[in-house]
């Protein structure tokens, strides 16, 4: 009897991949079958909840000193990640059944999505670098496929950009694994977390890990792939941004937090995350693409998670990690519906539904949750974060307040713009009809997440995760005033900005892209210079080839097919062996 294993949670997904793979392309039930498959891992949540702290190892390569097992573990961070993925995934699939209109592509889409979920589930359970790296690589590949799903020129470019950026992180992580193995002879998170002494080698490993984290979680200077990744289908964006891939980097930091802390590199993370957050909000204010604004806000949130972790407030980081999932998925679901009804992704050209109060309300809830109005999710995060920032200096607090302010400007402008578009009466009626035609499954997912966004702060009551002091330890009177003031001022600025035709903003992202092409240009120049050198190497290889090949032809003659020769060589070899032994004895 084999032991029940938590890694079995991937098996339903793989099984349903096979089933979907076996179905005909034209079968209209592919989406329903895939939906069933995506629900199944959620059934493991109770099992995992009962076994927090468990870990299991499978020998992968194990020989003497070299033992590389695959370890699955179930720490709090693993459990949180697993639950978030398993809860969000079915709703993304449900939303997709309404959103994806071209049924011919169903098979490819759902196969890729199931593969993505499987990779993410494996990642969420990883207890050492072997499993993490395998899942990490699969994430890279499947996200590449999903971002480039629509096969248009820009989608292909975006996918290529994503994979080239992420591969930098993959290689960095591989190198980090090699260095860590050299230093500590282990790749287990449980052991690496306890590391206290660092050599130059292991510090380099931590630095490489930070690069890997920054590529996956889109921190400076690897931000721009995430914005371009909006070329993918909206449900994919919702999945990618809320619970899955971009959080993999933060997830790694949380898993190995003691090691990052002991290495003293948290300050680097802090500095770069703050820079990234400022870049993100500065860019987002002027953006008019409905999803790209959300992408910038995601980058800002990831930065804030890393900032919170770097300020040693892991609770805050973990809390944002959890609640961000729900309101971010909600906002993406909302923007997808707006896009479907209006047929454009430009927020200056779209108009909100006049006849669907719940839809509008959902958007408002999402923005409130994101910006942190009093009882909503981010409020508690802000209050934790501001306290941590204040303790490390008033300057830090000021920076974070500015970021918060800019964020609420950006989000309220984003929310309010679709209300201002003046349309003729006839086309308004038509638009209302379009809103009526929006698929029911999309609305169900939206409402479910609106509810979850409101309810998610209740997670603070969890004793296992937050120590059980309850929600009130995170509230203070100053914060009451401060957070709400920020949101309200932000909303007012956003409202004024919305009325202006063009919003002045800082296109830092554009500058980063330009810098990248400069770097690429430099390398192509260097490559031309190195071509001479390469030519020499080629010559050397070219000269060695005839030598090797000539030897081959020469030896070919020895092998003349005559058995006498073979017998002679056999005996000659025997005699040589005797001679050698005689010499050695």
567 touching another protein, by CB under 8 A: yes
541 touching another protein, by CB under 8 A: no
Burial class (CB in 10 A: 0-12, 13-18, 19+), 505: middle
CB of 116 to another protein, least distance (A): 20
64 touching another protein, by CB under 8 A: yes
- Pairwise CA distance, residues 330 & 531, whole Å: 52
Q: Which of 529, 536, 543, 553 binds another protein (CB under 8 A)?
A: 553
Question: Is residue 296 within 8 Å of 284, Cβ to Cβ?
Answer: yes
565 touching another protein, by CB under 8 A: yes
Instruction: Name the DSSP class of 343.
Output: S
Pick between residue 1 and residue 66 the one whose CB is nearest to another protein.
66
569 touching another protein, by CB under 8 A: yes
14 touching another protein, by CB under 8 A: no
> Could you tell me which residues are beta bridge partners of residue 289?
346
- Kindly write down the DSSP assignment for every residue of 240-278, as one continuous string: HHHTSTTHHHHHHHHHTHHHHHHHT-HHHHHHHHHHHHH
Pick between residue 15 and residue 433 the one whose CB is nearest to another protein.
15
- Kindly write down the DSSP assignment for every residue of 48-113, as one continuous string: HHHTTT-EEEEEEEEETTEEEEEEEE--HHHHHHHHHHHHHHHHHHHHHHHH---GGGHHHHHHHH
- Kindly write down the DSSP assignment for every residue of 51-62, as one continuous string: TTT-EEEEEEEE
Question: Is residue 96 within 8 Å of 146, Cβ to Cβ?
Answer: no
Q: Extract the tokens encoding 562.
A: 């005559």
- Pairwise CA distance, residues 516 & 224, whole Å: 10
566 touching another protein, by CB under 8 A: yes
Peptide bond connecting 177 to the previous residue in cis, omega within 30 degrees of 0: no
Pick between residue 55 and residue 283 the one whose CB is nearest to another protein.
55
With contacts defined by CB under 8 A, name the span among 266-274, 287-295, 456-464, 547-555 that binds another protein.
Answer: 547-555
Pick between residue 154 and residue 185 the one whose CB is nearest to another protein.
185
549 touching another protein, by CB under 8 A: yes
With contacts defined by CB under 8 A, name the span among 303-311, 319-327, 375-383, 561-569 that binds another protein.
Answer: 561-569
Q: Which of 8, 20, 58, 88 binds another protein (CB under 8 A)?
A: 58
578 touching another protein, by CB under 8 A: yes
1 touching another protein, by CB under 8 A: no
Question: Is residue 88 within 8 Å of 39, Cβ to Cβ?
Answer: no
CB of 185 to another protein, least distance (A): 13
375 touching another protein, by CB under 8 A: no
With b for 16 or more beta-carbon neighbours within 10 A and e for fewer, the 404-433 pattern comes to: bbbbbbbbbbbbbbbeeeeeeeeeeeebbe
The structure tokens 């573990």 sit at 73
546 touching another protein, by CB under 8 A: no
With contacts defined by CB under 8 A, name the span among 437-445, 477-485, 531-539, 558-566 that binds another protein.
Answer: 558-566
Q: Which of 14, 18, 485, 577 binds another protein (CB under 8 A)?
A: 577
Contacts of 15 (CB under 8 A, 6+ apart): 37
With contacts defined by CB under 8 A, name the span among 169-177, 309-317, 464-472, 575-583 that binds another protein.
Answer: 575-583
CB of 58 to another protein, least distance (A): 7
CB of 47 to another protein, least distance (A): 24
Residues 69-88 that bind another protein (CB under 8 A): 69
Q: What is the β-pairing status of strands 66-73 and 55-63? A: antiparallel
With contacts defined by CB under 8 A, name the span among 75-83, 195-203, 356-364, 553-561 that binds another protein.
Answer: 553-561
- Pairwise CA distance, residues 583 & 585, whole Å: 6
Sign, Cα dihedral of 488, 493, 496, 498: negative
SS (H, E, C) 221-249: CCCHHHHHHHHCCHHHHHHHHHCCCCHHH
With contacts defined by CB under 8 A, name the span among 61-69, 210-218, 352-360, 410-418 that binds another protein.
Answer: 61-69
561 touching another protein, by CB under 8 A: yes
391 touching another protein, by CB under 8 A: no
Question: Is residue 358 within 8 Å of 438, Cβ to Cβ?
Answer: no
Pick between residue 50 and residue 558 the one whose CB is nearest to another protein.
558
Q: Which of 65, 394, 536, 543 binds another protein (CB under 8 A)?
A: 65
Q: Which of 61, 172, 313, 453 binds another protein (CB under 8 A)?
A: 61
2 touching another protein, by CB under 8 A: no
With contacts defined by CB under 8 A, name the span among 17-25, 105-113, 488-496, 554-562 that binds another protein.
Answer: 554-562
CB of 68 to another protein, least distance (A): 9
Q: Which of 23, 51, 60, 402 binds another protein (CB under 8 A)?
A: 60
Pick between residue 535 and residue 580 the one whose CB is nearest to another protein.
580
With contacts defined by CB under 8 A, name the span among 75-83, 339-347, 372-380, 556-564 that binds another protein.
Answer: 556-564
Pick between residue 59 and residue 542 the one whose CB is nearest to another protein.
59
Q: Which of 151, 196, 267, 552 binds another protein (CB under 8 A)?
A: 552
In the three-class reduction of DSSP (H, G, I as helix; E, B as strand; rest coil), residue 330 is classed as helix
> Of 239, 435, 454, nearest to 365 (Cα)?
454
Long-range contacts of 43-51 (CB under 8 A, 24+ apart): 44/6, 44/8, 44/9, 44/82, 44/86, 45/82, 45/83, 45/86, 47/4, 47/6, 48/6, 48/74, 48/79, 48/82, 48/83, 49/79, 51/6
Site size toward another protein (CB under 8 A) is: 37
Q: Which of 5, 26, 478, 551 binds another protein (CB under 8 A)?
A: 551
- Pairwise CA distance, residues 112 & 545, whole Å: 45
Q: Extract the tokens encoding 352.
A: 């909100």
Tell me which residues touch another protein (CB under 8 A). 58-66, 69, 548-549, 551-553, 555-556, 558-559, 561, 563, 565-567, 569-574, 576-578, 580-581, 584-585
């Amino acid at each position: 009897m084999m032991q029940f294993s938590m890694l079995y949670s991937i098996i339903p997904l793989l099984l349903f991949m096979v089933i979907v793979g076996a179905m005909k392309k034209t079968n209209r039930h592919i989406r329903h079958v895939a939906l069933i498959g995506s629900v199944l891992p959620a059934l493991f949540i109770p099992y995992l909840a009962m076994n927090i702290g468990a870990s299991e190892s499978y020998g992968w390569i194990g020989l003497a000193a070299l033992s590389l097992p695959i370890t699955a573990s179930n720490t709090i961070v693993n459990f949180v990640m697993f639950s978030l993925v398993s809860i969000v995934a079915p709703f993304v699939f449900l939303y997709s059944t309404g959103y994806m209109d071209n049924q011919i592509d169903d098979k490819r889409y759902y196969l890729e999505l199931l593969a993505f979920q499987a990779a993410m589930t494996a990642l969420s359970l990883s207890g050492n670098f072997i499993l993490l790296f395998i899942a990490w690589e699969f994430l890279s590949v499947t996200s590449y496929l999903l971002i480039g799903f629509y096969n248009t020129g820009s989608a292909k470019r975006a996918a290529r950009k994503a994979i080239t950026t992420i591969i930098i992180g993959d290689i960095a992580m591989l190198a980090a694994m090699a260095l860590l193995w050299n230093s500590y002879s282990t790749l287990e998170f449980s052991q690496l977390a306890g590391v206290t002494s660092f050599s130059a080698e292991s510090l380099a490993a931590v630095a490489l890990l930070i690069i890997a984290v920054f590529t996956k979680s889109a921190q400076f200077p690897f931000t721009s792939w995430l914005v371009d990744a909006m070329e993918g289908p909206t449900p994919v964006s919702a999945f990618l941004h809320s619970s899955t891939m971009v959080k993999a980097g933060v997830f790694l930091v949380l898993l190995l937090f003691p090691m990052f802390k002991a290495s003293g590199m948290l300050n680097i993370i802090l500095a770069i995350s703050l820079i990234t957050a400022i870049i993100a909000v500065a860019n987002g204010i002027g953006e008019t693409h409905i999803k790209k604004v959300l992408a910038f806000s995601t980058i800002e949130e990831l930065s804030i998670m890393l900032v919170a972790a770097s300020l040693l407030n892991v609770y805050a980081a973990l809390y944002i990690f959890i609640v961000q999932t729900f309101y971010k998925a909600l906002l993406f679901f909302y923007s997808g519906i707006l896009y479907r009804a209006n047929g454009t992704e430009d927020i200056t050209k779209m108009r909100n539904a006049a006849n669907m109060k719940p839809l509008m309300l959902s958007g408002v809830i999402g923005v409130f949750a994101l910006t942190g109005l009093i009882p909503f999710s981010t409020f508690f995060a802000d209050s934790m974060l501001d306290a941590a920032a204040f303790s490390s200096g008033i300057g830090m607090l000021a920076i974070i307040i500015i970021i918060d302010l800019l964020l609420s400007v950006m989000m309220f402008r984003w929310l309010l713009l679709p209300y201002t578009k003046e349309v003729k009466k006839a086309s308004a009626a038509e638009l209302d009809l379009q809103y009526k035609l929006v698929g029911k499954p999309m609305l169900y997912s939206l409402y479910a997440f609106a509810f979850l966004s409101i309810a998610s702060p209740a997670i603070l009551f969890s004793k296992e995760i937050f120590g059980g002091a309850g929600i009130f330890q995170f509230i203070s009177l100053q914060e009451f005033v401060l957070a709400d003031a920020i949101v309200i001022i932000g909303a007012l600025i956003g409202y004024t900005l919305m009325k202006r035709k063009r919003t002045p903003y800082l296109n830092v992202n554009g500058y980063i892209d330009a810098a990248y092409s400069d770097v690429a240009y430099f390398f192509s120049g260097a490559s031309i210079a190195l071509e001479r050198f390469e030519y020499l190497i080629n010559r050397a290889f070219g000269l060695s080839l005839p030598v090797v090949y000539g030897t081959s032809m020469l030896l070919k003659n020895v092998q003349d097919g005559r058995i006498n020769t073979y017998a002679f060589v056999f005996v000659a070899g025997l005699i040589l062996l005797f001679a050698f032994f005689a010499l050695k004895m």
